[in-house]
């Protein structure tokens, strides 16, 4: 299937005063795009971004640390000057660099000075004067959360960011951030098999915040993963397509952001928006992760 998304296909949602279609694109992996020779190819990464937008996706999610800043640069190279309907969210809150041996993530760094420095870098890489949505990537346990969020508030007051989002938060951290500013979205780990952010999702549903689920596919070995695999086989679809469709139908607050470094895989993921699951299949996935 090679059809472009429309507002009717996946619906739309407001993120602050910005309106986007409810299937976005996670740009974490785009710098790893490879050409026909199997080597990393910047032009292929640019083609990927353009293809995703051509397919009707008008919401891109990136971060300062993705590809050591290359993700933001590639988006700009592919799509700047940006179409009027394109919305980009980026993040800061981790210490940029390579992940140390024995660790799986970079260390948090929520120091306000660091946040402000990283904002300037993201502005340059994205070639904008104001970032659509700037996210607190992760709470830093070494600092009071309100100090980190306060840096984002200052940047907003200075006109460098339009809206503020938070990521990887508990309900208490979300509540604290909302005391300081108007939070427009939350990006937390969530899929059919991992629903520890259910309480955060409920706040988003209640108050009209967008919820971006990262890690949309349930881990192998879980009942949810087995159910998704069986449903995918019945439809001749991919597990990712089933996961995307389940998220879209599970909650109107959801804005899934599947990512990839492959144009073909991006097309597959976007085609997931057209997959039709039965109510019985949805119910099976609803209970599989509980």
66 is catalytic: yes
CA nearest 131: which of 211, 65, 78, 61? 61
Structure-block tokens of residue 106: 């970079």
Per DSSP, 69 falls in state G
> What DSSP string describes 268-289?
HHHHGGG----HHHHHHHHHHT
Contact between 164 and 190 under an 8 Å Cβ cutoff? The reply is: no
Residues 6 or more apart in contact with residue 10 via CB below 8 angstroms: 21, 22, 23, 248, 273
The stretches of 127-262 forming alpha helices (DSSP H) are 145-157, 171-180, 198-207, 223-235, 239-250
Give the whole-angstrom CA distance, residue 177 versus residue 171: 10
Q: What are phi and psi of 59, to 5 degrees?
A: -135, 115
Residue identified by tokens 């208490």 is 172
187, two tokens? 């990006």
Of 271, 274, 251, 202, the residue nearest 13 (C-alpha): 251
The catalytically annotated residue of 53, 66, 145, 190 is 66
Q: What is the spatial distance between Cα 208 and Cα 253, in angstroms, rounded to a whole number?
A: 7
* Residues paired with 240 in a beta bridge: none
The conformation of residue 99, written as its DSSP 8-state character, comes to P
What residues are labeled active site? 66
């Amino acid at each position: 299937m090679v059809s472009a998304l429309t507002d009717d296909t996946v619906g739309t949602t407001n993120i602050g005063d910005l309106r986007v279609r409810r299937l976005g694109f996670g740009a974490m992996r785009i710098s790893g795009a490879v050409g026909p020779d199997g080597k990393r190819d910047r032009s292929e990464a640019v083609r990927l971004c353009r293809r995703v937008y051509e397919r009707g996706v008008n919401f891109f999610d990136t971060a300062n640390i993705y590809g050591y800043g290359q993700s933001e640069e590639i988006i700009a190279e592919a799509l700047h000057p940006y179409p009027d309907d394109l919305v980009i969210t980026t993040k800061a809150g981790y210490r940029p660099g390579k992940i140390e041996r024995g660790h799986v993530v970079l260390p948090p760094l929520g120091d306000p000075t660091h946040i402000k420095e990283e904002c300037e870098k993201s502005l340059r890489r994205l070639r904008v004067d104001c970032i659509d949505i700037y996210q607190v990537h992760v709470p830093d346990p070494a600092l009071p959360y309100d100090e980190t969020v306060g840096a984002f508030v200052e940047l907003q007051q200075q006109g460098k960011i339009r809206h503020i989002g938070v990521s990887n938060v508990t309900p208490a951290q979300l509540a604290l951030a909302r005391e300081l500013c108007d939070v427009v979205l939350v990006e937390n780990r969530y899929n059919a098999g991992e629903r520890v952010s259910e309480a955060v999702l409920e706040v988003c549903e209640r108050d009209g915040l967008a919820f971006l689920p990262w890690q949309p596919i349930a881990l192998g070995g879980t009942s949810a993963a087995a159910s998704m695999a069986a449903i995918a086989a019945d439809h001749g679809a991919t597990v990712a397509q089933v996961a995307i469709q389940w998220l879209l139908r599970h909650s109107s607050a959801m804005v899934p952001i599947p990512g990839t470094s492959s144009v073909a895989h991006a097309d597959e993921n976007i085609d997931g928006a057209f997959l039709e699951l039965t109510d019985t299949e949805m119910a099976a996935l609803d209970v599989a992760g509980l």
